[in-house]
Amino acid sequence: MSGKPSHPPRGDAQRAGLDSRRYAVTLASAVLDQGVFLDDAMSARAEQRSKLAPRDRAFAHAVLLALFRGLGRIDAEIDARLSKPLPENATRVRNILRIAAAEMVFLETPAYAAVDAAVRMAKRSDPRFSGLVNAISRRLGEAAADIRTKPTVTAAWFEKALVSDWGAETAARIQEAHQQQPPIDLSLRAEETAAALAQELDAEALPTGGLRLRSSGAVTALPGFEEGAWWVQDAAAALPAKILVETTAPRAKVLDLCAAPGGKTLQLAAGGAEVTALDVSDKRLARLRENLKRTGLRADIRSEDALSWAPSTLFDAVLLDAPCSASGTVRRHPELPWIKSLAGLRDLVTLQDNLLDAAWRMLRPGGVLVYCTCSLFKAEGEDRAAAFLDRTDDARTRRIAADRFGVPEAICDGGWLRLTPALWTDRGGMDGFFVARFEKQASTA
């Protein structure tokens, strides 16, 4: 793998002020030194963000995405130019160098602008290192074109996990896709509006029923947003609810068991189901409420722990979009491999098994359960589905017709769906997802 990552609108490096670069360095520290996701780090600094012009915010965001996609390479290039390692506590200095390097290598910012900004930031935060920042960032600038063509280096644990599950060749294709800025996909409240909206929004109509925008930018300004005619949802993330809805009768009683922030709840409600949307997080349920309000769709919202909740009647269908590593969303969250590890996976897998068993208890005989995770790891997908079938006598797989959704190659041995960012490469890819559908056998007793 080599080449430069693609980026969202980059703002204008020449005009980007020192404030936007300081903001980028602060966010890089929050993410890489404190292990916070970029979106959360931005939310926590809403005030600082609000003081920046939209152009400067866009610039900082673009630099950070480029940095996380290229971090392995950038750190190696910085280290190769240091005569001795930076002190452990010089994290801000390293982040200043990282931001300058990401600008010059991936956004092609002229070296004079990036170096000048880096030196000014170093003088302010730790003047002892301003000479070093000057020298190293200049040398990085001289080599920027060369560094741009070097192979991508990702976090070792992540690479190992991908190769172990999918082999070196597929892992390389997935990693290549992780270098690209993903397109924006929309799910529609009424799929009959697809052709008209595609024209109005300059979008491609997808075989999954949604739209893919041909350009990027602020979606809230686009036609149909205010009226709730659509919501943003990756094409892969749109499939589990579609796969469930195609098996249920109109007005079926459907439980969305891990529902917030609610992309799939909206799809189920738009598909005509009577939806109960349950989640343990009040904060995330608030977003679900906002989404329902905007789209005018309805669901009965429950703030409950799925593991202990006991419904008064059983459901015709259950959707379980279980908490997981989110390793299928690295295109959108390129920091993930750098701030996560396999350490938490064992607990997640236990939770996924327990949630599957809880979901099954809430399903009526003859009903359908769809289990999904936005993970690339078999441990959270294929292995969970197989273990569930092993321990659940009345469960049968109901095979998914993958060709109907334009992903015929995604069907896997169990009759389940395995989506990865290496699919649809000519169209702009899709997130990684696993989807299995089970039917509860009617009792023969």
Would you tell me which residues interact with ligand SAM (CB under 6 A)?
A: 258-264, 278-281, 284, 305-307, 321, 323
> For ligand SAM, which residue has the nearest CB?
258
148-182: b (≥16 Cβ within 10 Å) or e: bebebbbbeebbebbbebbeeeebbbbbbbbbbbb
Catalytic residue, candidates 258, 324, 372, 374: 374
What secondary structure letter does DSSP report for 203? E
What's the min distance (Å) between Cβ of 353 and ligand SAM?
A: 12
Gap between the Cα atoms of 142 and 104, Å rounded: 9
Going by DSSP bridges, is the β-strand pair 230-232/211-213 parallel, antiparallel, or unpaired? unpaired
What secondary structure letter does DSSP report for 5? P
Q: Which is nearer to ligand SAM, 94 or 264 (CB)?
A: 264
Active site residue 374: yes
What's the min distance (Å) between Cβ of 231 and ligand SAM?
A: 10
Q: Which is nearer to ligand SAM, 181 or 291 (CB)?
A: 291
What's the min distance (Å) between Cβ of 260 and ligand SAM?
A: 4
3-class DSSP assignment, residue 365:
strand
What's the min distance (Å) between Cβ of 356 and ligand SAM?
A: 12
- Residues 112/137, Cβ–Cβ less than 8 Å: no
Q: Which residue has 């990552």 as its token pair?
A: 5
Question: Residue 292 pairs with which residues in a beta bridge?
Answer: none
Residue 331 structure tokens = 């295109």
Query: CA 359 from chain center: how many Å?
Result: 25
What's the min distance (Å) between Cβ of 14 and ligand SAM?
A: 39
Q: Which is nearer to ligand SAM, 59 or 231 (CB)?
A: 231
Q: Which is nearer to ligand SAM, 140 or 259 (CB)?
A: 259
Q: Which of 300, 351, 304, 348 is nearest to 326 (CA)?
A: 348
Gap between the Cα atoms of 156 and 383, Å rounded: 23
Q: Which is nearer to ligand SAM, 68 or 433 (CB)?
A: 433
In degrees and rounded to multiples of 5, residue 405 shows phi and psi of -110, 15
Gap between the Cα atoms of 339 and 332, Å rounded: 14
What's the min distance (Å) between Cβ of 304 and ligand SAM?
A: 7
Q: Which residue has 């709730």 as its token pair?
A: 228
Q: Which residue has 């020449």 as its token pair?
A: 14
List Cβ neighbours of 19 (8 Å cut-off, separation of 6 or more).
Answer: 51, 52, 56
What's the min distance (Å) between Cβ of 307 and ligand SAM?
A: 5
Which residues are known to be catalytic? 374
